[in-house]
Chain A
Amino acid sequence: MDTFAPPAPPAVPSPAHPAVSTPTHPAVSGAGPAEVAEIGARLIETMNSVVAGKPEVVEVAVATLLAGGHLLIEDIPGVGKTLLAQAMARAVGGSFHRIQGTSDLLPGDITGSMVPTGQLDADGMRFRRGPVFANIVVFDELNRATPRTQSALLELAEEATVTVDGVGHRLPDPFMLVATQNPIDMAGTYGLGEGALDRFHAVVSPGRAAAAAELEILTGRRGRAMLDAVDAVVDLADLVTARQAVAAVRVSDLVAAYVVELLDATRRDPRIRVGASTRGGVAIVGLARAFAAIDGRSYVTPHDVVRAGVPALAHRVAGTGATVATGRELATECVAEVAVPTV
């Protein structure tokens, strides 16, 4: 039985299969799961070389990137939240801006605003782009910004468009928002509401590094010291293609039903005030698609859903005032509760 290995999945999927959910975007020619797997492997490898000892966190971050979502990193200070975001930005190779959240930060500070041109054409104003116009935007300490700024940011992240003075400005494509926040030291912060949290595809908490990884950081073999050495391993065009390929990964009805049951489990749990939203379900499927594609598959299995479930649900079930760690526990229990579908 040593030689037994499953054959590669057929290149051209059978169109007659009944359990196909029609992909929203057709796959771009030349980019299939194999290419995505390669891109994903490169990204993960590069980021792992900087972020020590957090392979799962890195995987979720890369999956979120490929799924076209936004990522929330929540943890205590000094565990490499910002480093993770920066490493990803470097590896992708697009433009990268970083915004530090403070309570006096105004929406205009991040979106950009109309400034006088100094010329008397038209109305004499022009739009000066804010820091949000970048492929990867890292927003540090999101909960220190005022709710007004938070909602402006999240809305533009959702729409991928900045509207100033009635004129819309498209954000660059690809665009990804990586926000960090600190669960302790909450004085003078504005906790994100459930609606705000819902806009993040996934949440990760890197946690403290293991002793071996810490040693590597202290000696400079990994960590921030390595950040400068990172070169872009993916160009933007490839990333866009990969995102389209991920969106084309197929989800059978069985798996979709499984996701629906997961959502239902969060809604039935008496400890969860409001269960996960439908957007949460979309996020799970998106992440699962990305996981599948990273594994080189053109279809989603329940295993992908299980991997996507906790990062996609943890912040959605936590509720106001609770930390993501609590949400993570609840989400893990919900995932364990639902029977896994099989043939």
Chain B
Amino acid sequence: MTGVAGTDRTRPLGAAPGALAFVAAWVVAGMIARLTGTPVVVALMASLAVLFVAEFLAGRSAARQLHVSTITAAPTATAGAPTTLDVELTARHRRQRLGRLRLLTPAPTSSDVATATLTPDTVGGGRLSLDAVFDRPGIVETIVATVEYSGPFGLLWWKRTATVPVAPIHVAPTAATLTVDELDRHHSPLDGDASSERGNHLGDIDGVRVWRDGDPVGSIHWPSTLRSGELIVHDRTATTDERWEIDLDALTERRDDEVAARLRHTLEEGLRLGHQLHVVHRGERHTVGSIADAAHWSAVIADSTTSSNESAPPSWWRRPLRLVHSDEPATEVGRPARWATAVAAGCGLLMLVGALSRSLLFVAAVVAGVALGAAVSSRLGGRRPPLLQVAIVAVIVGAFAMIAVDASGVSGLLEALRGPLPNLLVLLVVLHGFEVVDRRTLRVHQAITFVIAAYAAGLRIDDALGWWIAAWGGALLVSMALGVRIRPAATRVPDARAASRAIAGLTGAAVATLALLAVVPIPDGPARLGLPALSTSSAPIDSPGALAAPGGSTTPLPSSGQRGTIGEVVGYPGFTDTLDTTIRGDLGDQIVMRVRAPEPAFWRGQTFSEFDGRVWTASPDRGTRQEGPNIEVAPTLGDGIADEVPTETFVQTYFVETDLPNVVFAAARPSEVIFDGDLWARPDGALRSDVTLAPGSVYTVVSQRPQVTAELLRDQGDLGDVFARFVGQPGAEELDAFLDVPDSTTQRTIELAAELRQATTYDTILAYERWLGANTRYDLDAPVPADGADAVDDFLFESRLGYCEQIASTLAVMLRSQGVPARLATGYIPGERDRVSGVWKVRASDAHSWVEVWFPQTGWQSFDPTASVPLAGETDAGTIGGDLVAATASSVAAYRVELAAIAAVGVAIWLAFVATLRWRARRRRGRWGLLQDRFSALDRHGADAPGDHQRRATNPERASQLQPPDVAAAVAEVLDRAAFDPGWVDDDELYDRTRTGLATLERERR
């Protein structure tokens, strides 16, 4: 018998207790991702989503792979009293985790009959004997068997419901104390032949027999009783027989709930009195000869009276929605799982604490707290000795007081996010660690760990984030996998395929995660709500609005005719009021700032329009002072764009890492700046702050970028012609500043510019860049032009060596000579992208200058012959998946040796572990013992092997099931000899032959 086709349904049952915490954690992580725009948080969310999907699918397959094939029971049972059900299971796999089997009576009166926890043993063994209780009397012909299983992490539960037909079980009601009224009594004065069967105490004594239920005490035959040690009674011959007859059809008519119970009582009473009993059912007369018959007929009556008042089952939408599957079997957590969770929590917390630059004492306290929590919760379970309680309360009070004191001085969101809030979070996580005593709390703890990791990932911008996330993720996976392991481990059944299945599953999940991430774009940047700003500078600037060196002094940097160092790490001459193209700063390799932005751009600091042939000078106009923290930046001359040009919002957050001047870097064109202080918005488009930028300062810029494409630029034609119409017109004086060519510009420069001029300015610029690329060379040690010589002329025709200032100045002058408005911009190129945290690492050596050209339709457009930054409209933010792959690839490339060493050590440890296990097994079992294990395992996974019987089979019995029979018999005999023949002499050749024979059997089996 198998489940009736069509009644076999597999449906989700709900999430395991505590699993919904992961959903909450996912939502919180989503908020963090939205607030900070961190790609790695999105990656974490995607991984968790894939894990849940995998869990969902795996749980379904686990539930579907277990069938309840037959259920057998005694033909009669009493309602409310336990009876035994034998359940036979067939499973395609042994699961190393717990499931549950529930047996119910079918709808509409469905009630639980029996439940059992499914362990690997029972699932593999195939046969279960359950104590069952039927609530209601009646005839049970089908039983609904529900198999409940979860996925590999025990988070989501499925149930498979199948209706299994059984040989009818007559469930009788408990006997009442009243007899039925419909009782026909017939007396016959016969010399009763029924009397020797059932003692009626009326007649003569006719021997002795064993006592039966209902025999009167007076009939005990004491001598025989004492001799045999059991109750013996006089057997009597009845002088009269009494015959009872009950019409069941009339009883059915009564529709009385109690009638079945009364029938049972009546029949049993009749049996006790030794009467002949008959019932008439559907016109046929049946003899009632035993207690079982009485139960049978009362069950028949109960069935016919109860089935009449069936109620329809509630439709599916009226049933209560169960999101959580609350009766998960065996909720205790093993010590390994607890400690793996502690490691995950520790990694998360250290990751968070590391982002906040807390003291070493704080770190030590966190580590100790996590370890103590794990030790206490795994050792004591839910118990709390008073001393420990006092200690915990003291720690809580103290920590809260410290956090409260801390929080009192906080102003601003970012400070709170970095100060008291994470402290509070850390404290709560450590305290929750003491409460992790069962699966539910373990899952909640894991989910909290997830939030902590996301929080830390949102805050951290350093290089180590990827490694921390990897360590934390590994620990979390291990803890989740161990969390569903059954304790004690002794019930585990060795399954060679479990490891390979786990590896395949993990690989599949990783591939699925990457596939998902391959379509998830890098987040745009932080949300408006959370735009952070923080100033850590204490250096006031003596002259408001003026340009200040990192120290805060506004004294201009020395300008000399000499090439060489100006002695500062960030001493780039471009961040001064005057840029002498003959000076080159000594730029270090130090990271000056990190910029979180989805796409690369020039981080512009200053613009220069006035050029005298050697020195660029910034406009002396300091602009207007704007009050922070939310500063609207008005467009300046040349920033206007045509309505039809699409723009995008481009958000950047700058994390300052070294002392910088008070130049506020921003990608063109900044429209809004969130800055902890006041800014000067200058008419030349540059921004200066009231204070210098010190390490730890954070500010955010929202830029509106026209979506410029080559097409759009080319369509604007030759700008020389466009602007020629305005030159000299009243009100266009400001334009002249961008068109002025220095007096020292030589004729051959202008001729070269005119010669290379193309039909459109865009093509002209490209032609200039090409020419420069072909005829000049980038050289940081370019010679200083002679005193009074024009720097551009010198670069173009004399030395033909130069660096960005010379190249950019040359391009600007050549364009101006053709009537195209151009200016010089200084700042930083995008730098190197840290693909895990999604920030651009900007180094001092990334300082740069480039040319901005005024396109009337699209505003100022950056051009640079040396550094290549794509046009805004042609960049693509890319996807997190692509970034992750690139990051992994570059990490692997960077740490090739270390990773290889770690992998080698890991493989070596693994091999040593496996070898030790084998060695120990071999030492324990001996080589023949291992052969025996293989031989015993041959029928374990067999399709038609009812496990329990086979496990106790002898070797010859096993051999009789195997093919080819002669080999099987020979192997069995050798194994028996090895085990039981005292005269056995071990023999290598025989061992080898037996092993080959066993291999043959294994091949045949497959």
A residues neighboring B (CB under 8 Å): 1-2, 4-7, 9-10, 12-14, 17, 19-20, 250, 252, 254-255, 297-303, 306, 320-321, 336-343
Contacts and interface: CB of A to CB of B under 8 A. Distances in A.
A12 B982 CA distance: 11
Given A301-B954, A340-B954, A342-B955, A6 B977 contact: yes
A164 B957 CA distance: 50
A343 B983 contact: no
Contacts of B982: 13-14, 17, 19-20, 250, 252, 299
Nearest to B936: A342
A254 B954 CA distance: 14
Contacts of B954: 301-303, 306, 340
B165 to A, nearest CB: 27
Contacts of A10: 983, 985
7 contacts: A4-B993, A17-B982, A252-B981, A254-B980, A297-B981, A306-B954, A321-B210
Contacts of B976: 301-303
A2 B966 contact: yes
A20 B981 CA distance: 9
A108 to B, nearest CB: 26
Interface in B931-960: 931-932, 936, 949, 951-957
Contacts of B936: 342
Contacts of B926: 343
Interface residues of B, number: 39
A254 B956 CA distance: 17
A299 B970 contact: no
Contacts of B949: 336
Contacts of A340: 952-954
Nearest to A255: B980
Nearest to A299: B981
A17 B980 contact: no
Q: Which of A17, A300, A303 has the most CB of B within 10 A?
A: A303
A9 B981 contact: yes
A337 B952 contact: yes
B928 to A, nearest CB: 4
Nearest to B957: A303
B996 A299 contact: no
Contacts of A302: 954-955, 976, 980
Given A303-B957, A339-B951, A343-B926, A4 B997 contact: yes
Listed from nearest, the 5 A-B pairs whose CB atoms lie closest are A13-B983, A303-B954, A299-B981, A20-B982, A343-B979
A341 B982 CA distance: 15
Contacts of B1000: 1
A14 B982 CA distance: 7
Given A4-B993, A343-B929, A14 B983 contact: yes
Contact of B925 (A6, A17, A343): A343
B978 interface: yes
Contacts of A320: 228
A298 to B, nearest CB: 7
Nearest to A337: B952
Interface of B: 210, 228, 925-926, 928-929, 931-932, 936, 949, 951-957, 964, 966-967, 970, 973-985, 990, 993, 996-997, 1000
A306 B957 CA distance: 10
A321 B500 CA distance: 58
Nearest to B926: A343
Contacts of B931: 343
Interface residues of chain A: helix, strand, loop or mixed (majority): loop
Contacts of A339: 951-952
A277 B997 CA distance: 41
B977 A300 contact: no
Nearest to B927: A343
A255 B955 CA distance: 14
Contacts of B983: 9-10, 12-14, 17, 250, 298-299
A343 B998 CA distance: 15
B979 A17 contact: no
Given A336-B949, A342-B929, A303 B956 contact: yes
Given A255-B980, A336-B949, A342-B955, A1 B925 contact: no
Nearest to A306: B954
A19 B926 CA distance: 16
A300 B952 contact: no
B966 A299 contact: no
Contacts of B977: 6, 9, 299
A338 B957 CA distance: 15
A343 B996 contact: no
Contacts of B925: 343
A12 to B, nearest CB: 8
Given A254-B980, A299-B980, A343-B926, 20 more contacts: A1-B997, A6-B990, A7-B990, A10-B985, A13-B981, A20-B982, A252-B982, A255-B980, A299-B982, A301-B956, A301-B980, A303-B954, A306-B957, A320-B228, A338-B952, A340-B952, A340-B953, A340-B954, A341-B979, A342-B936
A19 B955 CA distance: 20
Contacts of A297: 981
B971 to A, nearest CB: 8
B979 A252 contact: yes
A20 B952 CA distance: 24
B333 to A, nearest CB: 31
Contacts of B929: 342-343
Nearest to A19: B982
Contacts of B973: 6
A36 B996 CA distance: 32
A275 B936 CA distance: 30
Contacts of B990: 6-7
A14 B957 CA distance: 28
Contacts of B970: 4-6
B975 to A, nearest CB: 6
A336 B952 contact: yes
Q: Which of A1, A255, A340 has the most CB of B within 10 A?
A: A1
A26 B932 CA distance: 32
B980 A300 contact: yes
Contacts of A298: 981, 983
Contacts of B996: 1, 4
Q: Which of A5, A255, A300, A338 has the most CB of B within 10 A?
A: A5
B120 to A, nearest CB: 17
A343 B975 CA distance: 7
Contacts of A4: 966-967, 970, 993, 996-997
B986 to A, nearest CB: 10
Contacts of A342: 929, 932, 936, 955, 975, 979
B927 to A, nearest CB: 9
A135 B368 CA distance: 86
Contacts of B951: 339
A6 B974 contact: yes
Nearest to B978: A343
B967 A1 contact: yes
A298 B985 CA distance: 14
Q: Which of A300, A301, A321 has the most CB of B within 10 A?
A: A301
Contacts of B957: 303, 306
A340 to B, nearest CB: 5
Nearest to A13: B983
A18 to B, nearest CB: 8
A309 to B, nearest CB: 11
Contacts of B975: 342-343
Nearest to B207: A187
B566 to A, nearest CB: 85
A147 to B, nearest CB: 11
Nearest to A302: B954
Nearest to B973: A6
A4 B989 CA distance: 12
Contacts of A336: 949, 952
Contacts of B980: 252, 254-255, 299-302
Contacts of B993: 4
Given A6-B990, A303-B955, A254 B981 contact: no
Contacts of B967: 1, 4
